[in-house]
Amino acid sequence: MDIRLSGVSHRYDQTEVLRDISLEIPSGKIVCIVGPSGCGKSTLLRLIGGLEQPSAGEILQVGTPPTDCLNPLTYVFQDFALLPWRTVHGNISLVLEDHGIPSQDADDIIQNVLARTKLSDFAKALPKQLSGGMKQRVAIARALAVNPAVMLMDEPLSALDSQTRELLMDDLVNLWTRTPFTAVYVTHNLAEAVRLGHSIVVMSRRPGEIREIVHLDQPLEQRGLGNVEMEEKQKYLWQLMREEAQAADAELIHV
Ligand SMILES: Nc1ncnc2c1ncn2[C@@H]1O[C@H](COP(=O)(O)OP(=O)(O)OP(=O)(O)O)[C@@H](O)[C@H]1O
């Protein structure tokens, strides 16, 4: 299933947040969204997820979700959003219980997503026993359990230290390489965007408009640390963003 945004604009009362966003999110690709603080990235994700309706324009789901899809649009948040009193297995089973999946089928799904996220040995652990990186892997496993058409990822790695972030990026690349998934991935971090994005949407400061869409052809598994082509792309993205980020910063100071 693809997602197609056409002429999407959004405002909160007097504040114009997004202006005339037209964008395709093709099935099986990761589309990163970058832009200065407050330019409307999270708002855009909420609009795609149907949590809010755009003030203008439309957002279409084109085609059908994958078979066995329980939830076409599934979020992965920065703060993991795990229930502290439930084990890893219990946190994942919760979303399947919500859909009335029989327990044997649910167990099969949980074993599968735990294996894919390298968490099989931690099924009985509680969130407080896990590192930040492991907690986010649980959140990703929980998202995968519903076999979503599109994962909506709002700065999923930004609460983690830089080494853990690198490891999680490798995990996401491995996960995608084995079974491609579709994601809209909001980040402030340009290194993350060039490591994970098949395309990178660069937004202007608020009201957020698309300034440019940068396409990256190099396969994800070839984009390790020190990759010269990716460093060039990252520099280019920063050039695009620098003025917008400075201006957004100045605007915030004068609020
Ligand atoms: N529910 C809301 N009601 C009113 N204003 C809102 C609401 N949600 C967001 N905003 C405003 O909309 C603008 C865009 O917010 P949003 O969180 O989408 O930006 P962002 O690009 O994700 O920001 P950041 O990079 O800092 O996370 C901000 O000025 C914010 O204050």
What pLDDT was estimated at residue 194? 96
Amino acid type, 91: N
Nearest CA to ligand 1 atom 2: 12
Distance between CA atoms of residues 114 and 251, nearest Å? 44
Q: Write the pLDDT tens digit of every residue in 32-59.
A: 999 999 999 999 999 999 999 999 999 9
The helix or strand, by DSSP H or E, that contains position 212, with its residue range, turns out to be: strand 210-215
- Cβ of 6 closer than 6 Å to ligand 1, yes or no, is no
Distance between CA atoms of residues 210 and 145, nearest Å? 32
Distance between CA atoms of residues 49 and 201, nearest Å? 18
pLDDT band at 226 (very low <50, low <70, confident <90, very high): confident
Q: Write the pLDDT tens digit of every residue in 121-169.
A: 999 999 999 999 999 999 999 999 999 999 999 999 988 888 888 888 9
For residues 108-112, give the mean pLDDT. Answer: 95
- Cβ of 249 closer than 6 Å to ligand 1, yes or no, is no
Query: Separation of 125 CA from ligand 1 center, angstroms?
Result: 35
- Cβ of 127 closer than 6 Å to ligand 1, yes or no, is no
Q: What percent of the chain has pLDDT over 70?
A: 98
Query: Separation of 39 CA from ligand 1 center, angstroms?
Result: 7
Distance between CA atoms of residues 247 and 6, nearest Å? 27
For residues 5-15, give the mean pLDDT. Answer: 96
- Cβ of 10 closer than 6 Å to ligand 1, yes or no, is no
What pLDDT was estimated at residue 67? 85
Distance between CA atoms of residues 189 and 238, nearest Å? 10
What pLDDT was estimated at residue 245? 84
Query: Separation of 123 CA from ligand 1 center, angstroms?
Result: 36
Estimate to the nearest angstrom the gap between the alpha carbon of 42 and the chain centroid. Answer: 10
Nearest CA to ligand 1 atom 24: 37
Can you tell me the ipTM of this complex? 0.96
pLDDT band at 255 (very low <50, low <70, confident <90, very high): low
Nearest CA to ligand 1 atom 25: 37
pTM score of the predicted model: 0.93
Nearest CA to ligand 1 atom 8: 43
